[in-house]
Amino acid sequence: MISLQYIGHSAFYIKTGGYGILIDPFITGNPKAVFDLNNNIITNIFVTHGHGDHLGDAIPLSKSHNAEICTIFELANYCMSKGAKAHGAGMGGKIDFPWGSARLLPAFHSSSTPEGYYAGMPASILFDINGTKIYHAGDTCLNSEMKTVGEIYKPDIALLPIGSNYTMDIEEAVVASIWLNAKEVIPMHYNTFDLIKADALKFKTSIEALNKKCTILNPGEGINL
Ligand code: NI
Ligand code: MN
């Protein structure tokens, strides 16, 4: 069984077997985040890019849980320079784990370290957990690389930003769901703060009109796959 829990913003927690996978763990800095840091196993941490609302608590959690951060090469080096355990990868590289695999794929955005230095390319991440494919889009605009992801990898579930300003908006995320060939979508990166306010119910209505499933999760809620 795989459980997928929404922590808030772009942070998710996947539990499978004895493994706990955190994605973009912006937790202590986000008052709306819901996650029990003391009673959840953390074995792997993935970070789409270096911005604070994605790197979040990755470095301290890597140290406290001896969990490896998997991210783009330059950002992995940055994490290691701060004492974290990290694994650097490049675009398109498949990284194997006991629970499945992950692949860093394009995202169109920017990326910098907390000090403002270059942090490599921002990424989206495709997880394949025992054949269930979960695509986390990271921060991105709508881009035609998503057509390739849809054609080659056919994600079962796509986690898509809808908040605009820093990423695509609702209308573009609807197009992304088509291009990604995703059967189910979960909105993210909205309503954390005023600049990224979005109406998730409006998104859900548009997705359902395409005969796709849209699951709106409040922080702390999750689904089983
Ligand atoms: Ni960002
Ligand atoms: Mn962001």
Q: Which ligand is nearest to the CA of 192?
A: 2
Instruction: Specify the pLDDT at position 112.
Output: 98
User: Nearest bound ligand to CA 163?
Assistant: 2
Tell how far the Cα of 8 is from the centroid of ligand 1, in angstroms: 15
Ligand positioned closest to the Cα atom of 122: 1
Task: Note the CATH architecture for domain 2-218.
Answer: 4-Layer Sandwich (3.60)
DSSP string of 148-198, one letter each residue: HHHHHT--SEEEEE-B-SSS-BHHHHHHHHHHTT-SEEEEES-SSSGGG--
> In the prediction, which pLDDT does 135 show?
98
Residue 5 has a pLDDT of: 98
Average pLDDT over residues 120-127: 98
> In the prediction, which pLDDT does 127 show?
98
Distance 55 CA to ligand 2 centre (A): 10
What pLDDT does 175 receive? Answer: 98
Q: Report the predicted TM-score, pTM, of the whole model to 2 decimal places.
A: 0.98
pLDDT at 180: 98
Return the domain boundaries, the chain: 2-218
The mean of the pLDDT values for the chain is 98
* Cα 48 to middle of ligand 1, angstroms: 9
> What share of the chain has pLDDT > 70, as a percent?
100
Task: Tell me the pLDDT band of 79, cut-offs 50, 70 and 90.
Answer: very high
pLDDT digits (tens, 9 = 90+) for 187-219: 999 999 999 999 999 999 999 999 999 999 999
Which of these, 88, 28, 96, lies nearest to 64 by C-alpha position? 28
